[in-house]
Amino acid sequence: MVSQLSEAVLDVIADALVDKGYIFLPELIPHPISQVLLEKIQTTEIHELKAASIGRGAEQQLNPDIRRDRIQWLEEQSEPDSLYLDLMTQLKDGLNRRLFMGLFDYESHYAVYQPGAFYKKHVDALKGSQNRILTTVFFLNPDWTPADCGELIIYDEADNEIERITPKMGHFVIFLSERFPHEVTKTQAQRNSIAGWFRVSNSMHGF
């Protein structure tokens, strides 16, 4: 399966990131790839995923009052992860060519939110102190209904709600990691996503 993000789509994404710092795309990932990613998550037992923690490095801790998803990191060596990671490399290169963002690598994990799980409002990168630049979230839930809740709500810097994304199969969102607080509302059904972060090289920031 070889898939190409078109130059036209990359133009739209780059323009939106410059204009408003985020973009919601109802269908970016080719359907056959979404399908194999969904099959992988559906055939993974919940105990194979690990409880997600908050904070980085020595500060890392489990905190079920803040976050209750279970995660598994994607790996370049395994399919279908590599299909998704290849598209993210195209996105990285396309954005670097257009915006000179200096995006260097990408880390991402599958996340499963079981009924009752949520992730309270947070930002993915503390201003100036981290190397996460751009967040991506991709949803893998074919039969989602409004009653299932589990929306991803994105806020602006003044804490106004600017986007409420239903975690339906195919939905994809990209936003500047430092700029947008966001939360996952309590889900009523199992909710699958892939969250990822484009990072700049530590050495470029003098860490």
Ligand X SMILES: O=C(O)CCC(=O)C(=O)O
Q: Which residues bind ligand X (CB under 6 A)?
A: 111, 119, 124, 137, 152, 182, 184, 193, 195
For residues 115 and 199, the answer to whether their CB atoms sit within 8 Å is no
State the minimum distance, in angstroms, from the CB of residue 97 to Fe ion: 26
State the minimum distance, in angstroms, from the CB of residue 184 to ligand X: 5
d(CA 22, CA 12): 11
Nearer to ligand X, 13 or 184 (CB): 184
> Taking CB under 5 A as the rule, does residue 81 contact Fe ion?
no
> Taking CB under 5 A as the rule, does residue 124 contact Fe ion?
yes
State the minimum distance, in angstroms, from the CB of residue 29 to ligand X: 15
Q: How far apart are the first and last CA of the chain?
A: 38
d(CA 184, CA 153): 6
State the minimum distance, in angstroms, from the CB of residue 202 to ligand X: 20
Q: Which two tokens mark 206?
A: 């003098």
Considering CB under 5 A, how many residues would be counted as binding Fe ion? 1
* 193 touches, from Fe ion, ligand X, none (C-beta below 5 to 8 Å by class): ligand X
* 125 touches, from ligand X, Fe ion, none (C-beta below 5 to 8 Å by class): none
Residue nearest to Fe ion (CB): 124
CB neighbour class for 9 (10 Å; exposed up to 12, middle 13-18, buried from 19): middle
d(CA 38, CA 57): 30
* 87 touches, from ligand X, Fe ion, none (C-beta below 5 to 8 Å by class): none
The identity of residue 159, as a single letter, is: D
CB neighbour class for 91 (10 Å; exposed up to 12, middle 13-18, buried from 19): buried
Nearer to ligand X, 92 or 132 (CB): 132
Q: What angle do CA 87, 91, 97 make, to 5 degrees?
A: 140
Q: Which two tokens mark 142?
A: 């074919």
* 198 touches, from Fe ion, ligand X, none (C-beta below 5 to 8 Å by class): none
Nearer to Fe ion, 92 or 109 (CB): 109
Q: Which two tokens mark 165?
A: 């994304």
> Taking CB under 5 A as the rule, does residue 163 contact Fe ion?
no
Sites of contact with Fe ion (CB under 5 A) = 124
